[in-house]
Structure 1
Amino acid sequence: MIALILAAGYATRLYPLTRDTPKPLLPVQGNRTILDLLVDRLEVLEEITEILIVTNDRFFHAFEQWHQQYNGPKPIRILNDGTSSPEGRLGAIGDIQFVIGREQLQDDLLVLAGDNVLGFGLEGYLDYFQKVDTDCILVRTVDDIEELQSVGVAELDAQRRVLSLEEKPQSPKTNIGVFALYIYKRSTLPLFSRYLAEGGNPDAPSYFPEWLHSRQEMRAYYTEGTIDDVGTPEAYAQMRARLGNAQEKQG
């Protein structure tokens, strides 16, 4: 299995913090960055044979510098999607297809947003994927209506098969939020190019499973852990304070 970290965004809502520093490389726990914490979650997964990080031309060298200092156990490669402005970005699904095509991927694929801080390990998710042997999304119960309106929302049957999935709905059908952690079987990867060829929205990563679930079976894995996306300078400051306090308590 390959892990693909999506890190080609420009995070304009966080300016000036992210004008010269990509969001995944913002420090959140001492000097440790969002990307450091995410890679920590991947290093312990035996199934992961390689970590790919896709970024843009503007921030490519920043990730290369981070990579030069990385001394962990997993092979990592940084890929440049060639874009240099928010207006020209490929979008999350466009970047996934860019990597699939460039690398000719033929492995199962774990896709992660590079700007999320996860409060849980991924071992259970990968075990669930192996058990059900089908494409998977990660969900958790969300009771805040504004948060539901900012993520994907799923309907599931009793076996956790996905019945519907809607990105950022104004009127959510359920309280099952979908977050940017997807596992796709290798046989599904050719469908990304079909989705885009049919005019599918290349931007948010959950638009693809929204299209896919009506064409083949997809299951959902529940987590009770936290998933934090640093969307504003205020949220970033709060996260740094919270993670710093947690580190002090552990120390």
Structure 2
Amino acid sequence: MKALILAAGYATRLYPLTKNFPKSLLKVKDKPIIDYILEKVLLVPGIDEIVVVTNSKFAVQFRKWARLQQAGKRISVLDDLTKSNETRRGAVGDIHFAIDKKRMKDDLLVIGGDNLFDGDLNKLISFAKKKNGPVIGVYDIKSKHEATKYGVIKLNRGKRIVEFREKPSKPQSTLVGMCLYYFPKQKLDLVKEYIKDKKGKRDATGFYIEWLRKKVDIYGYALSGKWYDIGDYKFYNQAKDVFGLKHRS
């Protein structure tokens, strides 16, 4: 199994903090955001390689970070060859880029490089293997107003996704999709198919999930505890105040 950490965005909503520094390397308390993610990934015994996909602007900084890690597993940094927010590949584009460049043939765990969460990845993967299909991590945000900022999910009793709406004005639930995915190796080619089919919608992974839902059964696994999708100063400050305090060493 491979783990892919998405860190190729330009984080313009966090300027000037991220103008010349990658968001995933910003610190929450005493360590970078990506370190919290790495700790979670290292608890998954089946993962034999961790791939960080970034851009040309920040590749040097991530390679320096990777050299300092003593993870016991291979960490690869992949430059997606973009140099600006205007030319970015987008999240789905970077997933496709990584699968293609690394010639991935294994099950794949994908995590957004700006996501901090408490949940157990082993439980999500175990759930995915029982379902034998793609799985997205979901979170009950407990506010329909806040849900309008995310992809909103409706599950049936078997936890299969029966509806996925990207940033709806009137959400039907408070269950939202995280940037946390498990794709069985048999389904990796569907990313390439989506890229060809939906050339203009490579950034929001929600569009891919809604497209994928119509092709195969895809399931949602609810994670408990805290979750921060660090997209702007508000959530970055919240993460520093709450998540970092809880996880201090």
Question: Do they fold alike, i.e. is TM over 0.5?
Answer: yes
The superposition leaves residues 84-110 of structure 1 with CA deviations (integer Å, 9 ceiling, x where unpaired) of 000000000000111111111101111
Compute the RMSD of aligned alpha carbons: 1.4
Please name the residue that 1:86 is paired with: 85
The code of the aligned residue for 1:118 comes to F
Matched letter for residue 17 of structure 1: L
Q: Is the 8 A contact 2:4 2:110 kept in 1?
A: yes
Counterparts of 1:194 and 1:245, CA distance in 2: 43
SS in 2 for 1:206: helix
In 1: Cα distance, 2:54 partner to 2:193 partner: 23
Q: Whole-Å Cα distance in 2 between the matches of residues 246 and 238 of structure 1?
A: 12
- Give 1:130-141 correspondences, 5 Å limit: 130-141=129-140
Q: Deviations over 1:209-238 (max 9, x none)?
A: 110111111111111222102222243233
Q: Distance in 2 between matches of 1:119 and 1:19?
A: 28
**1:153 corresponds to which residue?**
152
Instruction: Show structure 1 runs of 4+ deviating over 4 A.
Output: none
1:70 aligns to 2:73 (yes or no)? no
Q: Aligned equivalents of 1:141 and 1:38: distance in 2?
A: 20
Most deviating of 233-242 and 54-63: 233-242
Q: Contact conserved, 1:154 with 1:165, CA < 8 A, in 2? A: yes
Structure 2 residue aligned with 1:42: 41
What SS is found at the alignment partner of 1:104? coil
Query: Which residue does the alignment assign to 2:109?
Result: 110
Cα gap change, 1:75 to 1:37, in 2 (>3 Å): same
For 1:238 and 1:213, locate their aligned partners in 2 and report how far apart those are by CA, in whole Å: 33
Equivalent residue number for residue 195 of structure 2: 196
Whole-angstrom CA distance in 2 between matches of 1:245 and 1:204: 30
**Which amino acid in the other structure matches residue 7 of structure 2?**
A
User: Where does residue 245 of structure 1 map in the other structure?
Assistant: 245
* More moved, 62-71 vs 232-241: 232-241
Whether 1:16 and 2:16 are equivalent positions in the alignment is yes
Q: Work out the CA distance in 2 between the residues paired with 1:244 and 1:93.
A: 29
**Offset of residue 189 of structure 1:** 0.9
* TM-score (normalised: structure 2): 0.95
In structure 2, what residue type is equivalent to 1:28? V
Determine helix, strand or coil for the equivalent of 2:64.
helix
Q: Structure 1 residues 101, 43: closer, same or farther in 2, change over 3 A? A: same
Match of 1:53 in 2: 52
Q: Distance in 2 between matches of 1:234 and 1:4?
A: 26
Measure how far apart 1:29 and its partner are. 2.2
Consecutive unaligned residues of structure 1, counting only runs of 5 or more, are none
TM-score, reference length from structure 1 = 0.94
- Match of 1:29? 29
Matched residue of 2:193: which SS?
helix
**1:244 deviation in Å?**
4.5
> Following the alignment from structure 2 to structure 1, what is the Cα–Cα distance between the partners of residues 98 and 244?
35
Name which of structure 1's ranges 41-50 and 232-241 shifts more when overlaid on structure 2: 232-241
Q: CA deviation at 1:12?
A: 0.6
Q: 1:199 to 1:245 in 2, by over 3 A?
A: closer
Match of 1:184 in 2: 183
Q: Distance in 2 between matches of 1:112 and 1:82?
A: 20
Offset of residue 161 of structure 1: 1.0
Cα pair 2:136 2:220 within 8 Å, conserved: yes
Q: CA deviation at 1:247?
A: 5.0
